[in-house]
Structures are given as structure tokens and as C-alpha cells.
Amino acid sequence: MIYSNLIEYLESVRCRYLLNEPLKKHTTMKVGGPADIYVEARSAEVLVGILSIAKKEDIPIFLIGNGSNLLVSDYGFRGIIVKLEGDFSKIYIKSDDVISCGPGAKLIDLCKFALENSLSGLEFAYGIPGSCGGAVYMNAGAYGGEIKNVIKKVECINYDSKKKIMLRDDCKFEYRKSLFSSEKIIITNVEFTLHKSRFETIKEKMDAIMAKRVSKQPLDFPSAGSMFKRPKGYYVGPMIEKCGLKGFSIGGAKVSEKHAGFVVNKGNATCKDVLDLVKKIKSDVKSKFGVNLEMEPLFLSS
């Protein structure tokens, strides 16, 4: 069996793994077929162990964060899905205004930790349902803020298990992308530089941002957030609405009635339903406005 050495290793280090694990369980869109093997790496040693077996045996690897920006094929993934947990989820104060955060930590927990320590700078990210690693990879942003603005440095490891430290400018952050999107590098730790402020002021900002999210976004349905990147000079939701597509559905995938920039899973959507709906939206928006929409969630298939 192709995974026998890996499984032997995972059992020897008591690392949790699941075979043929449906990825719909690990994405906020709730679509996606099975991964051959889904592994929860809880320490740097185990991650290096997995990487070296995968390299030796030429097995594809994919790092998953919170699966909130992923559209996974109905056929799933032939290879190893690695989720970083345990040591990789730690958050602590490194120095006065610097927080150290593992990539597996939830962004929401990082924001709350910053608040508890009266550190300002991450309020914009409150409510983004990703992991810290996924947020850095995507250069997540909202309400005028972007992750890149608070990054001090990122520790990473490549697929040959070579470690590297990158400062903010090395990360080549752009709108919803970074160096990590184009090179096979795993983020293993992140340091954020914030600034001291009043607890109440930070909390007010966070509460206001959360209230905006709750009032504008269809949070009661599974989704992958905004389905399209924002083209310069245009608003996606109103364009889709003007095409008459609000509430339009294909199979189980539907253009949200609350926010037309979101495609939601109204029940049993397949990845194909979502992709077919995306195709229809892109085509209608192109015909009516001459604008090419680009999908924001990443598509994973083998």
C-alpha cells in the first residue's frame, strides 16, 4: 500500500490520522470528496517526519488551515492533507507589542488574545473564520485592514524541511495573495507587531466589525466567504444582483439572497454545483458589465 510507511511512522509517533476522510467535513463550504489520508501534525518534529516520507515516496501534500477559503473537488485529493495543531496553535506575548502565533491558531482566537492584552491592530480581522496560517497565505483583509500591515516575521519550512525566516517585505504580499501562494512553503509561526491601546477602544472596534459582518453576510449557511475577488473600481455583489442572479441556484449551490457576492451551500451542494454557478455568474457579469470576475477561494483537486 502506498501509505504503509507513512502510517507506520504516524502510529509510531502517535499522530492522529484518518483514511479516506471526506474533505467536506473540513471546509466551511461543506463540499469536497475524500482525501486519501488526513493527518493532524501537532509538532515540528512530526511535520518534518511527514514531509520527509512524502518527499521520499513522491506523495502529494496539501496544507489545510480552517478550510474557509477552499473549494475541494468532488473527487477529493490523492495524497496527504496536513492540518497543523497542538504546538502549532499556541499564541503568546513575545515582547511588549509583539504576539507570536502558531499557524494552526484560529484568527478569531488571535484577535481575542490581542484584545485581552490591550493590543490594537488586528480588529479588522475579527470574524474572519480562518487560521493564522491561512490568513497570512491569503493576506486576509477586511474593513480597510490587511494582515500584511501587522506582520513582523514569518517562520517557514519548505518541502525539503529547510527552515527559513521571512520579514514582512520578503513575503511579497498583494491583494489576497503572498509569496506562499506561489512557492511551496509551510508557515510554521508568525509574529505580529501591534500597538498598545485601551481595551475598551479595541473592543468597541471589534464589536462594530462583528455587527457589520452579522448584518451583511449570510453566516447561517455554509460558504467560502466572498466568491470573487473585488475588481478595481467595481462592487461584486451589486453587479451580480443587477444580473438578476440574487437567489439563483444550481443544484445545492445558491447566490445568497443576503449578499450576492456569496455563494452558499443550501444543503447538499456538490463542488460541481458551485463551479457551474460560478461559471454562470462570471459569464453574465462579463456580458452585462464587461468585467472579468476571478474566484477568490482556491480550488483543490488532484
Known catalytic residues are 176, 226, 296
Shorter beta-carbon distance to ligand FAD: residue 110 or 239: 110
Tally of CB atoms within 10 A around 79:
18
Is 186 near ligand FAD (CB under 6 A)? Answer: yes
Is 141 near ligand FAD (CB under 6 A)? Answer: yes
What are the C-alpha distances in Å from 101 to residues 32, 153, 156, 167?
A: 29, 11, 13, 15
Nearest to 27 by CA among 261, 277, 269: 269
CA distance 127 to 114: 14
Candidate list 180, 192, 221, 228; residue touching ligand FAD; CB under 6 A: 180
Instruction: Check residue 24 and report its DSSP letter.
Output: G
The grid coordinates listed for 164 are: 527559513
Q: Which residue has the cell 511527514?
A: 50
Is 128 near ligand FAD (CB under 6 A)? Answer: yes
Angle at which helix 107-116 crosses helix 199-216, to 10 degrees, equals 150
Q: What element of type H or E holds 130?
A: none
Is 73 near ligand FAD (CB under 6 A)? Answer: no
Shorter beta-carbon distance to ligand FAD: residue 140 or 245: 140
Shorter beta-carbon distance to ligand FAD: residue 229 or 246: 229
Candidate list 41, 47, 71, 142; residue touching ligand FAD; CB under 6 A: 142
Is 140 near ligand FAD (CB under 6 A)? Answer: yes
Write out the residues near ligand FAD by the rule CB under 6 A.
Answer: 28, 62-70, 84, 103, 128-131, 133-135, 137-138, 140-142, 180, 186-187, 217, 219, 223-225, 298
